[in-house]
Amino acid sequence: MRLDKFLSHHGVGSRKDVKALVKKKVITVNGNTVTKADMKLNPETDTVMVQDEVIHFEPYVYIMLNKPAGVVSSTQDKDRTVIDIVSGFEHYDLHPVGRLDKDTEGLLILTNDGQFTHDVLSPKKHVNKTYFAKIDGIVSDETVKQFQHGVTLDDGYHTMPGLLTIMNVNSAEQTSEVELIIQEGKFHQVKRMFEAVGMKVTYLKRIKMGNLALDATLSTGDYKKLSPEEIKCVRN
């Protein structure tokens, strides 16, 4: 890999910026001062330093975002996207791992690791996605049983089983609060599953992916890099 590409990829600056740093003689590779910005290096074995700071090779990055409502889970859209929220990672080609509806909040992972995304989203991998939802309607034990067997959506698709837990029921207001665990991610799936049993989702928030829970310290719209341990939790 070219040095200027490596450094721009890791947020040091543009290729023009790297050339300027080379002229200042503040970049070294394996202890030797760099004289050409386009020199070739092995990012996995060579030690690159800029102004005495080691630039660690990081081919992939994983970001946890507490997605706010009103933001689109896409890389490009006429409306504000989740990519627009995250700053400081512009040199990575980030994409969301799955989608949350525009009005849905909560845990969303952004990465440039396509294999990771495939592993998390494939129903065959059985990665749980856990949601908290407020429901217009009374969720009963019968509803729980229906979800255990999967429900048939409006297009005829029969979902995989969902683990539905009743958190609270307000009989006077005819509303419920629930937690739902599913392993699929069909379009508007959670909302359509409740519509299939005659109810409506009025609030939806993803709180967990695999064994990775949404960081309670992240306010809506905040984000952080995931540690290697946290990344492993996503795959259960």
Q: What CATH code is carried by the domain that includes residue 135?
A: 3.30.70.1560
Q: What is the DSSP string of 19-80?
A: HHHHHTT-EEETTEEP--TT-B--TTT--EEETTEE----S--EEEEEEPTT-BSSSS-SS-
Q: How far apart are CA 84 and CA 52, in angstroms?
A: 32
pTM: 0.83
Residues in the chain predicted with pLDDT less than 50, given as ranges, are none
State yes or no: is 17 an active-site residue: no
C-alpha distance across the termini of the chain, in Å: 34
Per-residue 3-state assignment (H helix, E strand, C coil) for 47-58: CEEECCEECCCC
Do 44 and 146 fall within a single domain?
Answer: no
Q: How far apart are CA 101 and CA 99, in angstroms?
A: 6
Find the catalytic residue in 84, 101, 136, 215: 101
Do 112 and 215 fall within a single domain?
Answer: yes
User: How far, in whole angstroms, is CA 148 from its chain's centroid?
Assistant: 27
Q: How far apart are CA 167 and CA 99, in angstroms?
A: 25
Do 204 and 217 fall within a single domain?
Answer: no
Q: How far apart are CA 227 and CA 233, in angstroms?
A: 10
Give me the number of domains the chain comprises.
Answer: 3
Query: Residue 116's pLDDT is what?
Result: 95
Phi/psi for 194 (5° steps) reads -75, -35
CA–CA distances in Å: residue 216 to residues 20, 208, 219: 42, 11, 8
Q: How far apart are CA 95 and CA 60, in angstroms?
A: 12
Q: What CATH code is carried by the domain that includes residue 12?
A: 3.10.290.10
Do 160 and 180 fall within a single domain?
Answer: yes
Do 41 and 148 fall within a single domain?
Answer: no
Exposed / middle / buried, residue 31 (Cβ in 10 Å: 0-12, 13-18, 19+): exposed
Residue 201: domain span:
128-209
Percent of the chain with pLDDT strictly greater than 90:
81
Do 205 and 215 fall within a single domain?
Answer: no
Query: Residue 9's pLDDT is what?
Result: 77
Do 103 and 35 fall within a single domain?
Answer: no
Do 135 and 201 fall within a single domain?
Answer: yes
Do 150 and 135 fall within a single domain?
Answer: yes
Q: With contact defined as beta carbons under 8 Å apart, do 56 and 44 qualify? A: no
Do 166 and 180 fall within a single domain?
Answer: yes
Q: What is the DSSP letter of 151?
A: -
Do 117 and 215 fall within a single domain?
Answer: yes
Do 159 and 102 fall within a single domain?
Answer: no
Q: What CATH code is carried by the domain that includes residue 95?
A: 3.30.70.580
25-30 contact pairs (CB < 8 A, 24+): 26/50, 26/51, 27/3, 29/3
